[in-house]
């Protein structure tokens, strides 16, 4: 029987993984490494996350079926708990996903991951360490269609410290743990659930809805964004754990050419599922044109509350990601028989049905955005990718705070 150690079970994707696994692959044992005061508190945190996918009662039942190891994965190499020794697969999802608190993000995502890898080296039965990275390790200048071979690249210029820390983790894992059965999964942008919509978490949906409400597309209105639903990511990760053989070490978990989202197509879908001033027409703008964005934003949302100011600044940053117009090639995954994700247009209606106001959604996502990314023109220094834990990766000083609700200023 497989015995799977999961980090990040209380997070967006971790909850989806656990829900999918416990309802579809009940023969495996799941061990969750969770931050909590004790095992029962950890179990309750997991039940709370699972309840976004099912009834409270069922979530409680499912949570009873997992083993809880209380701990912080960044200290994993100091964990003597013998329950970890018999793990056969490890799915490492836990990360600091905030965009800017760079030292902490680096310490967690790079240093912490190496600590977990050192502990994994003592798991004698381990046959897969599935590390979840991000396709956004490409930084700000990827080609239009990107396969898995080009990055991580020490020369990449990152838009945010988060992606730099994930790139550093991948590089150090590959270089320092050659004997570990490492596979890297790189999801693109994870948004919504293909049947539950925004219920498990509305993260990033507000961005798409705000771009739509503004009728502004950064770059080309026929450009694309690579978006995948959370349940597809979860199912794919669980299947990757179960496959005894995978042909490659690194995989994009992405929409790819078949399922990517073209703004113009999305607009036609939204005309149907969210009819408002139809047919929609999106104006194009350069994401560096702050004045154009500010004028449109002020007219549509207003700038009369601190939360709206904060949302404006976060949106500016997201527009820079949207402007990348990159498709993450998923040929590797599909050619090994994994199913393709549904395109966003298939389930955006469900997301909208199950979501509230755009500004409330932004507020929910605000934790990750408490600090602003690098203003355009002030590039982060080139990423140095250290092979040893603890070394500094970035020396970025260019960030300015997005102040918390109540104190923000444009
Ligand atoms: N969401 C996306 O669009 C996306 C796209 C590409 C890649 N990814 C990657 O997918 C993974 C999961 O993302 P997500 O969106 O699910 O993140 P999330 O919702 O922010 O969840 C992060 C998880 O990591 C845990 N964690 C953080 N620091 C920890 C620590 N020191 N010790 C133990 N647990 C810790 C959190 O636990 P607490 O609850 O205790 O804080 C939480 O369970 C990440 O590696 C991320 O880089 C996400």
Q: How far is the CA of 9 from the centre of ligand 1 (A)?
A: 8
- Check residue 367 and give its pLDDT: 62
Predicted local confidence at residue 27, as pLDDT: 83
CA of 377 relative to ligand 1 center, distance in Å: 29
Could you tell me the distance, in angstroms and rounded to a whole number, from the CA of residue 286 to the centre of ligand 1?
31
User: Residue 364's pLDDT is what?
Assistant: 84
Distance from the alpha carbon of residue 11 to the mean position of ligand 1, in angstroms: 5
Beta-carbon contacts of 57 under 8 Å, excluding residues fewer than 6 positions away, are none
Nearest residue by C-alpha to atom 36 in ligand 1 = 8
Count CA atoms within 13 Å of residue 89 on its CB side.
Answer: 22
Q: In the structure encoding, which two tokens stand for residue 348, read together?
A: 């955006």
Pocket test for ligand 1, best of 44, 72, 94 (most atoms within 8 A of CB): 94
pLDDT at 352: 95
CA atoms within 13 A on the CB side of 314: 31
DSSP for 123-182 reads: -TT--EEEEE--GGGGTT---SEE-TTS---TT---SSHHHHHHHHHHHHHHHH-TTS-E
pLDDT at 369 (0 to 100): 55
How far is ligand 1, taken at its centre, from the CA of residue 13, in Å?
7
Q: How far is the CA of 384 from the centre of ligand 1 (A)?
A: 23
C-alpha closest to that of 97 among 174, 185, 12 = 12
| Domains in the chain, CATH or no CATH each | 3-191+228-260+327-335 (3.40.50.720)
Ligand 1 atom nearest the C-alpha of 33 is 33
Question: What's residue 380's pLDDT?
Answer: 40
Query: What confidence score (pLDDT) does residue 102 get?
Result: 80
Query: Which residues have any ligand 1 atom within 6 Å of their CB?
Result: 7-8, 10-14, 35, 72-74, 93-97, 108, 112, 132, 134, 166, 187, 189-190
List the pLDDT tens digit at each of the 410 positions of the chain: 899 999 999 999 999 999 999 999 668 999 999 999 999 999 999 999 999 999 999 999 999 999 999 999 999 999 999 999 999 999 999 999 987 678 999 999 999 999 999 999 999 999 999 999 999 999 999 999 999 999 999 999 999 999 999 999 999 999 999 999 999 999 999 999 999 999 998 789 999 999 999 999 999 999 999 999 999 999 999 999 999 999 999 999 999 999 999 999 999 999 999 998 889 999 999 999 999 999 999 999 999 999 999 999 999 989 999 999 999 999 999 999 999 999 999 999 999 999 999 999 998 887 655 444 444 444 443 333 222 222 222 222 222 222 222 223 33
């Amino acid at each position: 029987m497989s015995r799977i150690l999961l980090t990040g079970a209380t997070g967006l994707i971790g909850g989806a993984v656990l829900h999918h696994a416990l309802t579809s692959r009940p023969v495996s044992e799941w061990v969750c490494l969770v931050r909590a005061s004790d095992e029962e508190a950890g179990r309750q945190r997991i039940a709370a996350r699972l309840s976004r996918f099912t009834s409270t009662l069922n979530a409680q039942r499912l949570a009873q079926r997992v083993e809880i190891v209380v701990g912080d994965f960044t200290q994993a190499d100091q964990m003597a708990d013998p329950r970890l020794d018999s793990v056969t697969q490890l799915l490492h999802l836990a990360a600091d996903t905030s965009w800017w608190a760079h030292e902490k993000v680096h310490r967690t995502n790079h240093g912490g991951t190496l600590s977990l890898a050192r502990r994994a080296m003592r798991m004698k039965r381990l046959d897969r360490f599935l590390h979840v990275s991000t396709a956004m390790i490409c930084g700000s200048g990827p080609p239009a269609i990107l396969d898995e071979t080009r990055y991580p690249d020490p020369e990449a210029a990152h838009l945010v410290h988060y992606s730099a820390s994930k790139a550093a983790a991948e590089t150090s894992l590959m270089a320092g743990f050659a004997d570990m059965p490492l596979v890297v999964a790189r999801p693109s942008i994870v948004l919504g659930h293909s049947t539950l919509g925004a219920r498990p978490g509305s993260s990033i949906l507000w961005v798409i809805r705000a771009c739509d409400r503004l009728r502004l597309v950064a770059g080309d209105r026929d450009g694309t964004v690579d978006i995948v639903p959370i349940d597809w990511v979860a199912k794919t990760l669980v299947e990757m754990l179960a496959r005894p053989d995978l042909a490659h070490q690194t995989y994009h978990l992405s929409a790819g050419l078949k399922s990517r989202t073209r703004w113009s197509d999305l607009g036609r879908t939204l005309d149907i599922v969210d009819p408002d001033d139809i047919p929609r027409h999106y104006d194009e703008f350069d994401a560096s044109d702050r004045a154009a964005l500010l004028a449109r934003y002020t007219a549509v949302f207003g700038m009369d509350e601190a939360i709206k100011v904060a949302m404006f600044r976060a949106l500016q940053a997201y527009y820079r990601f949207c402007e990348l117009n990159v498709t993450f090639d998923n040929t590797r995954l599909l050619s090994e028989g994994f199913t393709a994700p549904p395109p966003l247009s298939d389930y955006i209606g469900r997301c909208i049905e199950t979501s509230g106001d755009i500004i409330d959604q932004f507020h929910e996502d605000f934790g990750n955005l408490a600090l602003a990314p690098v203003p355009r023109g002030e590039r982060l220094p080139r990423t140095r990718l250290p092979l040893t834990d603890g070394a500094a990766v970035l020396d970025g000083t260019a960030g300015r705070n997005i102040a918390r609700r109540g104190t923000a200023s444009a």
